[in-house]
Chains A and B, each alone.
Chain A
Amino acid sequence: MSLRFQRLLLILLTLVIILSAVLLILYNARENVSYFYTPSEIDNLDIAIDEKIRIGGFVENDSFNKISSSSFKFKITDEKASILVTFNGILPDLFREGQGAVIEGTFVDNDIFNATNVFAKHDENYMPASIKEELKDTGYWNKKYK
């Protein structure tokens, strides 16, 4: 084996070893690397009241209630579990029922989550507004797009 291929092998081997080390670290820290928990993950976790966490999911249909001009109540769901959320503040533009959202805050008791921040999550679909109308007219509109 020539010297240059020995060097190549050494470099590639080193890269593989460092990469697997980094991935192992990240894999074991995945709960901390993940930006949010889903509502069904929350059930299996031991989260103290007043512990600051983030929950991500969809805003459940027909769950949004406006209590006053800046205080809201809604449910976050991942279709397996749902969590009741209260929020005081300004909601982002994309926030609506059926839309993905990430909320930051604390559980005030076992069932109610008090949000301090609400972020709207955007999905990977891009579609012109005119096509939405067309799809609605022809009945091909997928409710999940909302």
Chain B
Amino acid sequence: MMFLVNPSKFNKVADYVFLPALISSIILFSIGLIFAFYLSPDDYQQGSTVRIMYVHVPSAWIALLTYAIMTLYSIAGLAFRIPFGFIINTAVAPIGAVFTLICIISGSLWGKPMWGTWWVWDARLTSVAILFIIYLIIVFMNLSFENRVVREKVIAIFVLVGSINLPIVKFSVDWWNTLHQPATISKLSKPSIDPSMMIPLIIMTFAFVMVGLAIAILRIKTEIISRKSYLS
């Protein structure tokens, strides 16, 4: 498992993983979109609008997952002095920002016909908006400092402080009254979604993960090279 912390070992593993990830994302997207548009049924209440969920939910999950990964790598970078942690932070922050934006836009498009409004300031929507702003700040911080060594540490500390938002995003729907519905899949009792809708959701989630992974590999490899050339 050293490839998770060692840049040169990561490069070797990444070369094996990149092409399969790219190809499987194309295949999973083709299958998933066919399922989402044609093979999955209409919802008993929402009708066709339920299909927005197959984009909205995976992108929300990946936005949170990306931030969780950044948090772990920030701890590794600061506490264990593993520079690869800083490389990951710089590389994946824009990916998380884009998925958060996809989540917000698709949710907005769903909210207008279903709730009757594009946006409300309830706890879930607001905390996701804050997550998006945190991602943007990290992206801009990456462009701002001259001194790379200082910048990496400042960003890692900022990522750790921002990680407090993660449990708030996750549990906002349980702790407070929100317009956003509570969790369907990740709750303790049985998921209250029909298998015919769960299958496309899972396929689309893996498709999103694979495309995210492929982009992340490219960005991390670039970041490894640019860090090496900065330090030498």
Contacts and interface: CB of A to CB of B under 8 A. Distances in A.
Interface of A: 4-5, 7-8, 10-12, 14-15, 18-19, 22, 26, 30, 33-38, 56, 90-95, 102, 117-132, 145
Contact of B116 (A34, A120, A124): A120
Interface string B68-85: 000000010011110000
13 contacts: A4-B80, A22-B168, A30-B175, A35-B179, A36-B177, A95-B116, A119-B120, A120-B116, A124-B181, A126-B193, A127-B194, A129-B47, A131-B41
B78 A35 contact: no
B93 to A, nearest CB: 19
Q: Which 9 A-B pairs have the closest CB atoms?
A: A92-B116, A128-B41, A35-B122, A8-B79, A132-B44, A7-B79, A126-B193, A34-B177, A124-B184
Interface stretch (B14-22, B158-166, B203-211): B158-166
B161 A119 contact: no
Contact of A121 (B44, B123, B163, B181): B181
B230 interface: no
Interface in B179-222: 179, 181-184, 187, 192-194, 196-197
Given A19-B164, A33-B123, A129-B42, 14 more contacts: A4-B79, A11-B160, A15-B160, A18-B161, A34-B123, A35-B122, A35-B176, A35-B178, A120-B114, A124-B182, A124-B184, A126-B43, A127-B194, A129-B41
A121 to B, nearest CB: 6
Please report whether the interface of chain A is mostly helix, strand, loop or mixed according to DSSP: mixed
Interface string B32-55: 000000000111111100100100
Interface in B51-105: 53, 75, 78-81
A8 B79 CA distance: 5
